[in-house]
A and B are shown apart, each in its own frame.
Chain A
């Protein structure tokens, strides 16, 4: 089944404790992206990647890192989480050379930073 998976789905952590949220897709998509969703603000893009070893900042990159060592994986790293990073996070992917550009979303990771 074609899908985007994220782990963990739920995470409660404390300020300053490094964490990684994994994202994996099995559709051979070139483009991957991370969003955070906050009430009243919609989705805001954190980072995106057009292909392996190519990453770029989105609208709200501060406090986050990403890597794209393999095509299927795009982990989101919070080196020193803070309470303002409490949010719902979504990973998405699409074919960079496709004509439809429909993005496929993972199930989301609800992060709470105390």
Chain B
């Protein structure tokens, strides 16, 4: 079955540490890839997305993600996190352009000041 896996459910980092959150999907066809962020008490916001072209995608707030097709991965990275990055991060995939988003379970990121 098509699925999206986020390997870390909870991540705790200190400010200025580098971040990498893993996302893998199980589907061999065409995919559109997304990372959404949910700050405490707020709704989901799009961080970045990949549809085609350069597999290294830059998003808002200094985040980036790299699509590695051979590894079915779309990991999220940030070189230096801030306390304000504390949030829950969701990876989501649309498979074969059918508008159905398949979601990972989310990763709760806590940044210690």
Interface residues of A (CB under 8 A from B): 31, 33, 35, 40-45, 48, 50, 58, 90, 94, 96, 99-103, 105-108
Contact present for A103 and B106 (CB under 8 Å) = no
Tell whether B26 is near chain A: CB-to-CB under 8 Å: no
Q: With A31-B99, A90-B44, A100-B51 in contact, do A42 and B34 touch (Cβ < 8 Å)?
A: no
Is there an interface contact between B105 and A42, defined as CB atoms closer than 8 Å?
yes
A102 near B103 (CB under 8 angstroms)? Answer: no
Q: B49, A100: Cβ atoms under 8 Å?
A: yes
Whether A42 contacts B101 by the Cβ 8 Å rule is no
Asked whether any CB of chain A lies closer than 8 Å to the CB of B90, the reply is yes
Contact A43 B99 (CB under 8 A): no
Q: Mark B101-113, 1 if CB is under 8 A from A, else 0.
A: 1011110000000
One of B6, B42, B103 near A43 (C-beta < 8 A):
B103
8 Å CB contacts to A: which residues of B21-43? Answer: 32, 34, 36, 42-43
CB within 8 Å of A: which of B59-113? Answer: 90, 92, 94, 97, 99-101, 103-106
Most buried by A among B34, B45, B99: B99
- Chain A residues, Cβ within 8 Å of B45: 105
Q: Which of A31, A33, A105 is the most central at the interface, judged by chain B CB atoms within 10 Å of its CB? A: A105
Closest partner residue, chain A, to B106 (CB atom): A42
The chain B residue with its CB closest to the CB of A99 is B51
Q: Chain B's nearest CB lies how many Å from the CB of A45? A: 7
Residues of A within 8 A of B94 (CB): 101
